Amino acid sequence: MKLRSQNLVSIDDLTTEEILTIIDRAKKMAPIARSGKVSTLLQGRILATLFYEPSTRTRLSFESAMARLGGTTISVADVSSSSVAKGETLADTIRTVENYCDIIVLRHPQEGAARWAAEVARVPIVNAGDGSGHHPTQTLLDLMTIQESQGRLNNLNVGMLGDLRFGRTVHSLAYAITRFNDRIYCIAPEGLELPQEIAADLKARGKQVIQTRDLLGILPQLDVLYVTRIQKERFPSPADYARVGGSYRVDLALLEHAKPTLDVLHPLPRVDEIAPEVDQTKHAKYFAQMFNGLLVRMAVLSMLLEA
């Protein structure tokens, strides 16, 4: 199945049917990923990864996905080593890189950068994070992990905890999970609430956005707790960060109040918001997320590059 949109900039570029098809195809990628063999599906195709911000999982899983499918990758992992350091504009960089590849995965500190790149580029653009904007492939792997663990995507109480203001993963997830559910729980420190325009958008779609600071109070109802890091790099000053840094932490004592089937997800990297002892519990799903990230990216690359 070919995707309707040439690009994957936000989760709203995908229909719900396309989201489910990507997850399905991702599951079928598992044997290829595990076999150690290389498929020929994307033989001869070239991926360019262009990262203007740090990344471990996203970039390496895209590159690994391409390799597993028989394609190759060219990469600018550190823009200070490219002509960006000489002052080249994003548009000119995109117009250059598209000559050398069939698809571009872009991470950029500025919200809207991927949409802008998609308007300029002739090849498909995948948004791997645009500032505090969106991160759609993260959301696809989040949904896949939830579906695998809970057996469904609907009828779930999903809570998002942490920096809902600057965190792009939760922005994409909020739009996606409310395709399947009528409400979403938002638990954020003061000043880091879900942006007003996103909450309004969801409400206009008939969804309930339940905002609270009382994690303990709502935890017993939750099926999924999506924990995020405070996005320190997006704070105007260290003093602003100090006001909220370390203000929440998921640990064993807290999880005693949770359903036995609660899934704790985190896009990673974590700082101190999930205690390491949680890793050994059946709640911890952030390791499964990482492997699913590879599978989802194999699916996305194959579908966007389908002739």
Binding site for ligand NCD (CB under 6 A): 57-58, 129, 135, 138, 168-169, 228-229, 267-268
Q: Which single residue brings its beta carbon nearest to ligand NCD? A: 267
Least gap, CB of 9 to ligand NCD (angstroms): 15
Least gap, CB of 177 to ligand NCD (angstroms): 17
Closest CB to ligand NCD among residues 65, 268? 268
Cα dist. 160→194, 224, 232, 300 in Å?
A: 10, 8, 18, 25
* Nearest Cα to Cα of residue 165 among 187, 191, 142: 191
Cα end-to-end distance, the chain, whole Å: 10
Least gap, CB of 37 to ligand NCD (angstroms): 27
Least gap, CB of 269 to ligand NCD (angstroms): 6
Other Cβ atoms within 10 Å of 37 Cβ, number: 9
Tell me the DSSP string of 108-125. Answer: ESSTTHHHHHHHH-SS-E
Least gap, CB of 256 to ligand NCD (angstroms): 26
Q: Which two tokens stand for residue 258?
A: 């949770």
Tell me the DSSP string of 30-61. Answer: HHHHHH----STTTT-EEEEEESS--SHHHHH
Closest CB to ligand NCD among residues 159, 267? 267
Beta bridge partners of 50: 76, 106
The answer to whether the CB of 304 falls within 8 A of the CB of 3 is yes
Closest CB to ligand NCD among residues 45, 297? 297
**Each residue of 39-52: b (16+ CB within 10 Å) or e?**
bebbeebbbbbbbb
Q: Which of the 8 DSSP states describes residue 164? A: T
Closest CB to ligand NCD among residues 45, 168? 168
Other Cβ atoms within 10 Å of 25 Cβ, number: 17
Closest CB to ligand NCD among residues 39, 286? 286
Least gap, CB of 268 to ligand NCD (angstroms): 5
Closest CB to ligand NCD among residues 71, 129? 129
Least gap, CB of 213 to ligand NCD (angstroms): 21
Closest CB to ligand NCD among residues 98, 104? 104
